[in-house]
């Protein structure tokens, strides 16, 4: 099989760097362009010394013609507001696009404007974008040219809720999501919040009731449940580099046993290698998915309160970004979804 040629725009951020790491191990993909708006001309390895001797290409400037010439598929790992301009041009140029940014995730432009404080993309292209939550909407991804890759928190959270929502077992107004992320989720930009001496030995909440991933989660749950979901969503920073753990509280519409719930989850994710349902009484730690594309889920039904607690972990940079993007590439191309991703987590 000839190699698919991939370009990564935003190659000097963490999402871009992880896309590079994973594509380097992909048997059917060749990286043919790494693109950065700010460092064009410099070697990618200057800013990322781990790539010395592995990938030392010069960074290209953002240039649609050049991308058209060099690549078949473009991964966008860019800040908000870039992809909304760039993706339509790339699509019009006949390229496949996998957008890791948030610009095409929300179908409702007003929601985007309200939560991202930014002008939404052209509605025609928003309509085209397939929301790539691979295990849930993977059938839509097959054969498309344009994937909007889910956010990190929405991936962990929606995978923890999808079986329940799709079978309408839960009250979609009762959902409370308490999510915790490693610091890489805040990106490579400089700020006092991500200063080592400030964040080390520290745990904090941020953007309480204001995180832009809120409507993304609500959109997915509403779509699956067939009724409007309104969630409470709190995000926290954990003094570690990688990993998200989402603790989700829901009320069931009617009484179910824990066994029924486990059976539902196992059946819903049957045949999907990257979602692992733990045994009853076990709960996942972020470390058990570190560096990998897995999402591990634990469940506990509390007989005292009747509430169900779902605990879901991912590596935010892999399953929450670059890994799922490549999983979506696999689906787009008709390859096995695990191609290039079927490696073990790094432990310890």
The span of 125-133, 143-151, 234-242, 321-329 binding a copy of itself (CB under 8 A) equals 234-242
323 sits near a copy of itself (criterion: CB under 8 A):
no
Q: How many CA atoms lie within 13 A of 85 on its CB side?
A: 10
Give the total of residues touching a copy of itself (CB under 8 A): 85
Active site residues: 152
- Cβ-based nearer residue to a copy of itself, 125 or 233: 233
Kindly report the number of other CB atoms within 10 A of residue 93's CB atom: 15
Q: Is beta strand 244-251 parallel, antiparallel or unpaired with respect to 176-182?
A: antiparallel
Q: 87 near 7, Cβ under 8 Å?
A: no
Interactions with a copy of itself, residue window 298-317 (CB under 8 A): 298, 300, 302, 304-305, 307, 309, 311
Those residues with Cβ within 8 angstroms of residue 17's Cβ, 6 or more apart along the chain or in another chain: 11, 48
- Cβ-based nearer residue to a copy of itself, 69 or 305: 305
Residue with tokens 């030995």: 201
Minimum Å gap between C-beta 149 and a copy of itself is: 20
Distance CA 145, CA 175 (A): 33
Interactions with a copy of itself, residue window 185-224 (CB under 8 A): 186, 188, 190-192, 194-206, 208-209
Tokens of 112: 């985007």
Minimum Å gap between C-beta 88 and a copy of itself is: 31
Residue with tokens 């590079």: 20
Interactions with a copy of itself, residue window 248-267 (CB under 8 A): 249
- Cβ-based nearer residue to a copy of itself, 26 or 105: 26
Pick from 238, 249, 339, 235: which is nearest to 287 by CA? 238
Interactions with a copy of itself, residue window 11-40 (CB under 8 A): 14, 17, 20-21, 24-25
Q: Which listed residue (36, 87, 101, 247) binds a copy of itself by CB under 8 A?
A: 247
- Cβ-based nearer residue to a copy of itself, 97 or 290: 290
The span of 34-42, 59-67, 156-164, 280-288 binding a copy of itself (CB under 8 A) equals 280-288
Tokens of 208: 């309480």
Question: Which residues, listed in sequence order, are joined to residue 58 by a DSSP beta bridge?
Answer: 43
80 sits near a copy of itself (criterion: CB under 8 A):
no
108 sits near a copy of itself (criterion: CB under 8 A):
no
Interactions with a copy of itself, residue window 40-79 (CB under 8 A): 48-55
Distance CA 196, CA 45 (A): 23
Q: Is beta strand 73-76 parallel, antiparallel or unpaired with respect to 130-131?
A: unpaired
Report helix, strand or coil for 45. Answer: helix
């Amino acid at each position: 099989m000839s190699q698919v040629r991939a370009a990564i725009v935003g190659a000097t951020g963490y999402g871009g760097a992880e896309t590079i790491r994973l594509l380097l191990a992909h048997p059917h993909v060749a990286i043919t362009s790494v693109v950065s708006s700010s460092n064009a001309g410099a070697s990618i390895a200057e800013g990322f010394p781990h790539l010395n001797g592995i990938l030392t290409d010069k960074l290209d400037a953002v240039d649609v013609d050049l991308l058209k010439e060099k690549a078949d598929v473009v991964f966008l790992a860019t800040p908000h507001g870039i992809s909304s301009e760039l993706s339509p041009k790339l699509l019009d140029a006949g390229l496949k696009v996998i957008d890791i940014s948030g610009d095409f995730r929300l179908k409702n432009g007003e929601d985007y404007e309200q939560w991202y404080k930014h002008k939404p993309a052209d509605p025609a292209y928003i309509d085209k974008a397939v929301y790539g939550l691979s295990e849930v909407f993977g059938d839509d991804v097959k054969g498309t040219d344009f994937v909007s890759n889910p956010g990190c928190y929405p991936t962990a959270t929606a995978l923890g809720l999808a079986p329940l929502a799709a079978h309408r077992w839960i009250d979609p107004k009762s959902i409370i999501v308490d999510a915790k992320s490693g610091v890489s989720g805040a990106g490579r930009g400089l700020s006092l919040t991500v200063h080592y001496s400030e964040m080390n030995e520290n745990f904090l909440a941020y953007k309480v009731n204001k995180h832009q991933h809120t409507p993304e989660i609500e959109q997915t749950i509403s779509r699956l449940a067939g009724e409007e979901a309104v969630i409470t969503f709190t995000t926290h920073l954990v003094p570690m580099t990688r990993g998200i753990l989402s603790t989700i509280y829901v009320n069931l519409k009617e009484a179910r046993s824990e066994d029924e719930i486990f059976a539902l989850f196992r059946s819903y994710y049957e045949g999907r290698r990257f979602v692992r349902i733990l045994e009853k009484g076990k709960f996942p730690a972020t470390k058990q998915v570190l560096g990998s594309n897995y999402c591990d889920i634990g469940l506990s039904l509390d007989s005292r309160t009747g509430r169900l607690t779902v605990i879901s972990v991912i590596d935010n940079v892999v399953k929450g970004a670059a890994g799922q993007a490549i999983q979506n590439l696999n689906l787009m191309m008709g390859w096995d979804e695990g191609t290039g991703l079927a490696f073990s987590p790094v432990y310890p």
